[in-house]
Amino acid sequence: MGRIASYVALGDSFTEGLEDPADVGFRGWADRLAEHIEADQPGLRYANLAVRGRLIDEIVADQVPRAVELGADLVSLCAGGNDILRPSSGPAIVARRLEQGVRTLTEAGTRVLLFTGFDLRHVPVMRLAHRKIEIYNLHIHDIARRYDALLVDLWPMTILRDPRAWFADRLHLSPDGHRRVALCAAEVLGVPVVEDWREPYPARRPPVWSDARRQDLRWAKDALWPWISRRLHGTSSGDGVEAKRPELTPLS
């Protein structure tokens, strides 16, 4: 897309970078992408407004207008995942809100980078949302086409179906998962990188059935139940959390 002098990342925990630890807080694919851009085009200014747990309405109402104010060359917008995972949500309604955000950014003269949802058929319980994610992705492809947005298609990235691409909670990417998404996003932007996100993981023996079931039970107790509990109590993991990079500032 030519020279990128400023970049703003919008979204939820995926873009905030959860489970990719940094010296302070989290790093994540968006920070890593900014580093790739900076390496190729020095002088980048970068902001990350994403906050864990945010829903599509919050992102479009709060983060999108702030991104317009900042006037960045590039805005990445990955939103709607938290909505789609809720049983009562409808992909078409979520997509309409996403389109509003894309329209606002595009009309402001910003180039938009969108993301499809992951293929979660390999994740217990989360696989129940498989069909909804698939439908939502069709809407995202259509929005990207109509608004000439760039698109990182996470759905066909089979490398991300490997458990090593995910943190133990199976809800957030591992550091290596974030690394691979950043490399793919750089590829979409035409930013040169020295690594390949398609590089296969080393072969390893699958876990014994009994060990795998114990891991499933541990995951249900430590990750799934807290997630369900927050839904039941109307709370969010992002309550009281502020954006980690609220202003456009140089990386170095």
Cα dihedral value 235, 237, 238, 243, nearest 10: 180
Judge whether residue 18 has pLDDT over 70: yes
Question: What would the DSSP string read from start to end of the chain?
Answer: -----EEEEEESHHHHTTTSB-SSSB-HHHHHHHHHHHHHSTT-EEEE---TT--HHHIIIIIHHHHHHHT-SEEEEE--HHHHTSTT--HHHHHHHHHHHHHHHHHTT-EEEEEPPP--TTSTTGGGGHHHHHHHHHHHHHHHHHTT-EEE--TT-GGGGSGGGB-TTSSSB-HHHHHHHHHHHHHHHT---SS-TTPPPPP-PPPPHHHHHHHHHHHIIIIIHHHHHHHHHT--TTTT---SEEEEEE--
Reading the block at residue 110, the tokens are 């910003």
Judge whether residue 200 has pLDDT over 90: yes
Judge whether residue 239 has pLDDT over 70: yes
How much is the CA Rg of the chain, to the nearest whole Å?
A: 18
Q: How far apart are CA 85 and CA 237, in angstroms?
A: 15
pLDDT digits (tens, 9 = 90+) for 122-167: 776 677 788 999 999 999 999 999 999 999 999 999 999 999 999 9
Beta pairing, strands 245-250 & 150-152: unpaired
Q: What is the mean pLDDT of the chain?
A: 91
Q: In this predicted structure, what is the pLDDT of residue 176?
A: 98
**Res. 40 pLDDT band, cuts 50 70 90:** very high
Q: In this predicted structure, what is the pLDDT of residue 125?
A: 65
Contacts of 248 (CB under 8 A, 6+ apart): 6, 8, 45, 46, 47, 70, 72
Calculate mean pLDDT across residues 192-200: 97
pLDDT digits (tens, 9 = 90+) for 81-133: 999 988 888 999 999 999 999 999 999 999 999 999 999 887 766 777 889 99
Reading the block at residue 95, the tokens are 């997509």
Q: In this predicted structure, what is the pLDDT of residue 232?
A: 67
Q: In this predicted structure, what is the pLDDT of residue 30?
A: 98
